[in-house]
Structure 1
Amino acid sequence: MLRLVTTSLSLYCQRAQVTTLLLTRPNSSSVHEENLVTVDALYDLSVDLSKVRKVKGWVLRQSPVYVSEAAALLRDMGASGPVIACVLELHPEAILCKPEQMEAQKKLWMSVCASQKDLVGIIEKFPASFFSSSSDHDNQKANIVYFQTLHLNKRIISKLMASAPQSFSRPMKQNEEMIQTLQKTYLDLGGREDNLKIWLQKLLTQNPYVLLKPPEVLRENLTFLRDRGFTSNELLRLLSKLRGFVTELNPESMRLTLSYSQETLECTEAEFREVILQCPAFLYYSVPILADRFNGLLTAGISMGQIMETPTVIELTTQIVQYRIQKLSSFGYDVRTGSLEVLNGTKKDFEMSYGKLRLRRERPLFNPVAPLRTED
């Protein structure tokens, strides 16, 4: 109860302060231009206006606005007060959307969301994706229909709409062209028809922005890699591992990083191709990043031969490598002579490997429950 009273008093004082500023400082343009009705309505919703002013202050000077309508829409879908406040703080432009526009968006999104609760969860994380321009509505609808014809999971479609709204705001034909290019590439490289949908879903989930790239980028990058000696089967493995990140690359950047890495590792073309297949990160890390990580590993006493055997260690930052090496050395494990596999993986993976290794090292040399052998 005391907390509620304190919060209410705080909001009252903030509102009073703004009102005083409006009355006593008429020549202050930044405050004077604010829509007092908007400010008051947002305060009633416990919105932190300092955050709004810092990034999107211009919204507070607009008219007309639909604060109560936006809040009512979210509340009717089950959003709590704090969630509504959070949404309006992250994306205050929501109050500029007309009520009919909001309702149209709700109807559209519910065609790919399992429940209103799921939709509220999406809006909380990606409010700008929901409260979008009305001019995008037709494109959004056409794209939803198109992705449904691909028999993609509804959850996948809603995730795409939330994380990469630009893909749904543009004409459907552009997405169709890229999807068809991806499908054809996958099959031409030897991918199985019955696995195509699963492969496409994984690719779009892990890198939804792949749709925003021109199909020519994918073709150019694959041509470059083929010229480097990669077979169709190997290119398919890379495309599956990179999950579409191959569209973020370009031949010139890959040429620089591959040249540097191969020269540093002092290996043959065939050996280096195998390294890349194990660790595609060598394709997209810049030369400065690679140089920093190579130096960090070498400083720790790790040899190039060890890196060749476990190239994925290059995916770890120098700070993470140093921390893990120190933790392993605390009970006698020397990475200079042991396998680097124990360094790899996520934090959870490392902790599990570390625990198993430590348990193995500390296990008694004899079985305490086994019967002792005695001479007759």
Structure 2
Amino acid sequence: MLRLITTSLCLRCQYVTAPPFSSRPCTTVSSEENQQTVKALYELSVDIQKVRKLKGWVLNQSPAYTQEVADLLNDMGASGVIISRILAVHPEAVLCHPEHMKAQRDLWMTVCPNLRELVGIIEKFPASFFTSSSHHHNQRTNIVYFQSLNLNKRIITKLMASAPQSFSRPVEQNEVMICTLQQAYRELGGEEANLKIWLQKLLSQNPFVLLKPPEVLRKNLLFLRDKGFSTAQLLRLLSKLRGFVTELNPDSMHRTLAYSQETMGCSEEGLRNIVLECPALLYYPEAILAERFDGLLSAGISMSQIMETPTVLELTTQIVSYRIQRLKAHGYDVRTGSLEVLNGTKKDFEMSYGKLQLRRERPLFNPVAPLKGDD
């Protein structure tokens, strides 16, 4: 799975360790802490020890705009607690010039006019907001481009927050990937009327798809076509994989599919049907699949059950074991019942578990039936 890693792109804020002098021409680096910065952070209730431990180099920079950052966030509606939390996690924010911060606020408000929501985004993705002024032009042109696609503002905001690199680079690079995705959708038989919705969903669920080379998508689709998947099935896979198809490569998919087919003893057509039910099968390494197959089989689950409900392979061995034990306590034997009850998120499982518990505790008599009285 993808990890959503946000990194600061600010030229004044892009290093976790103290950057060399040459990369920070607008600041003075001292071997001693900037006491004004330390005092200002302390007055804002920021955990100074945490800053020293993780990003102590920030405290050595001059000039710093600690109070200006706090005032900007406060004017946007951020509480003192939120401000201190943001600066503790991303102290580099104090090194960004006030004028650039105001420009960033105005830019972000073009796609997220609700200040309360914007503060929430900054709290969660501070590195995406406090970026370099050199990226401002690219950010603006990318916003205009995505707006021209009639994408929902929330989708654009999510892209800017969770995948800021895609907005800091030239718009032409995003145009190429978007056109590749649109072309693939059309060539696979997707309906034009649903293109925007399909694209929005894909970008929302995997914002980092924009950062992948378009050639990867084409190669992977050609590989899957050679494996016998029809155009309709490929479109289904592309949609269900939510862009993860760009994380794959033909070699890894070949090994995974060969291992899965040998382990389950199914035909190529049978394997394709299983993959359509559980596309995640394409990107799990052989070692992970081996562990999960072994875990299920050691619990008494048959291979035919796994093939009927392959999505159970998406669960870790630990989660499967835990859920089996909870179900067993309520008299449900997964060895003879459906594996569907094991599937889904924690919330999904708790709902299924609750239904089994209710069924077990339900009284034998009909509570709405009239009671017989004495004659």
- Normalised by the size of structure 1, how large is the TM-score? 0.88
Name the structure 2 match of 1:17. none
Name the structure 1 match of 2:133. 134
What is the alpha-carbon distance in structure 2 between the residues aligned to residue 41 and residue 365 of structure 1?
A: 68
Query: Is 1:252 paired with 2:251?
Result: yes
What is the alpha-carbon distance in structure 2 between the residues aligned to residue 192 and residue 130 of structure 1?
A: 36
| Cα deviations by residue, 1:280-325 (Å, 9 ceiling, x for unpaired) | 1110111111111101000000010000000000011111111111
Is the 2:58–2:91 Cα contact (8 Å) retained in structure 1? yes
Distance 1:323 1:31, change over 3 A: farther
Bigger mean CA deviation after superposition, 126-135 or 108-117: 108-117
1:358 deviates by 3.3
Unpaired segments of 5 or more residues in structure 2?
1-28
| Cα deviations by residue, 1:156-185 (Å, 9 ceiling, x for unpaired) | 111110010000000000000000110110
What is the alpha-carbon distance in structure 1 between the residues aligned to residue 85 and residue 71 of structure 2?
A: 15
Name the structure 2 match of 1:193. 192
Map 1:101-120 → 2, pairs under 5 A: 101-120=100-119
Name the structure 2 match of 1:205. 204
Name the structure 2 match of 1:279. 278
| Cα deviations by residue, 1:220-255 (Å, 9 ceiling, x for unpaired) | 000010011000000000011011010011111111
What is the alpha-carbon distance in structure 2 between the residues aligned to residue 183 and residue 324 of structure 1?
A: 41
Is the 2:198–2:239 Cα contact (8 Å) retained in structure 1? yes
Matched letter for residue 34 of structure 1: E
Matched letter for residue 89 of structure 1: A
Name the structure 2 match of 1:71. 70
Name the structure 1 match of 2:93. 94
Is the 2:138–2:168 Cα contact (8 Å) retained in structure 1? yes
Query: Is 1:261 paired with 2:288?
Result: no
What is the alpha-carbon distance in structure 2 between the residues aligned to residue 209 and residue 368 of structure 1?
A: 55
Name the structure 2 match of 1:60. 59
What is the alpha-carbon distance in structure 1 between the residues aligned to residue 64 and residue 366 of structure 2?
A: 76
1:334 deviates by 1.1
Query: Is 1:227 paired with 2:226?
Result: yes
What is the alpha-carbon distance in structure 2 between the residues aligned to residue 76 and residue 210 of structure 1?
A: 35
What is the alpha-carbon distance in structure 1 between the residues aligned to residue 201 and residue 360 of structure 2?
A: 39
- Normalised by the size of structure 2, how large is the TM-score? 0.89
Secondary structure of the 2:72 match is helix
1:367 deviates by 3.4
Name the structure 2 match of 1:339. 338
Distance 1:364 1:107, change over 3 A: closer
Name the structure 1 match of 2:215. 216
Matched letter for residue 82 of structure 1: V
* Identity %, equivalent residues: 73
Map 1:304-319 → 2, pairs under 5 A: 304-319=303-318
What is the alpha-carbon distance in structure 2 between the residues aligned to residue 208 and residue 34 of structure 1?
A: 38
Name the structure 1 match of 2:151. 152
What is the alpha-carbon distance in structure 2 between the residues aligned to residue 184 and residue 107 of structure 1?
A: 34
What is the alpha-carbon distance in structure 1 between the residues aligned to residue 325 and residue 365 of structure 2?
A: 29
Query: Is 1:300 paired with 2:299?
Result: yes
Secondary structure of the 2:46 match is coil
The structure with more radius of gyration: 1
What is the alpha-carbon distance in structure 1 between the residues aligned to residue 92 and residue 186 of structure 2?
A: 44
Unpaired segments of 5 or more residues in structure 1?
1-29
What is the alpha-carbon distance in structure 1 between the residues aligned to residue 106 and residue 60 of structure 2?
A: 30
What is the alpha-carbon distance in structure 2 between the residues aligned to residue 365 and residue 78 of structure 1?
A: 57
Q: Which has the higher contact order (CA 8 A, sep 6+)?
A: 2
Matched letter for residue 300 of structure 1: A
1:355 deviates by 2.1
Distance 1:59 1:271, change over 3 A: same
Whose helix fraction is larger, Structure 1's or Structure 2's?
1
| Cα deviations by residue, 1:16-61 (Å, 9 ceiling, x for unpaired) | xxxxxxxxxxxxxx99611111111111111111111111111100
Secondary structure of the 2:62 match is coil
Is the 2:30–2:61 Cα contact (8 Å) retained in structure 1? no
What is the alpha-carbon distance in structure 2 between the residues aligned to residue 189 and residue 139 of structure 1?
A: 32
| RMSD, matched Cα | 1.7
Distance 1:254 1:371, change over 3 A: same
| Cα deviations by residue, 1:181-214 (Å, 9 ceiling, x for unpaired) | 1011011101110101111011000000000001
Map 1:358-373 → 2, pairs under 5 A: 358-364=357-363, 367=366, 370=369
Distance 1:141 1:363, change over 3 A: same
What is the alpha-carbon distance in structure 2 between the residues aligned to residue 262 and residue 250 of structure 1?
A: 18
Is the 2:166–2:210 Cα contact (8 Å) retained in structure 1? yes
Distance 1:61 1:231, change over 3 A: same
What is the alpha-carbon distance in structure 2 between the residues aligned to residue 67 and residue 314 of structure 1?
A: 49
What is the alpha-carbon distance in structure 2 between the residues aligned to residue 31 and residue 178 of structure 1?
A: 44
What is the alpha-carbon distance in structure 1 between the residues aligned to residue 77 and residue 362 of structure 2?
A: 54
Matched letter for residue 285 of structure 2: S
Bigger mean CA deviation after superposition, 45-54 or 356-365: 356-365
1:369 deviates by 5.0
What is the alpha-carbon distance in structure 1 between the residues aligned to residue 41 and residue 326 of structure 2?
A: 50
What is the alpha-carbon distance in structure 2 between the residues aligned to residue 108 and residue 179 of structure 1?
A: 22
Bigger mean CA deviation after superposition, 210-219 or 67-76: 67-76
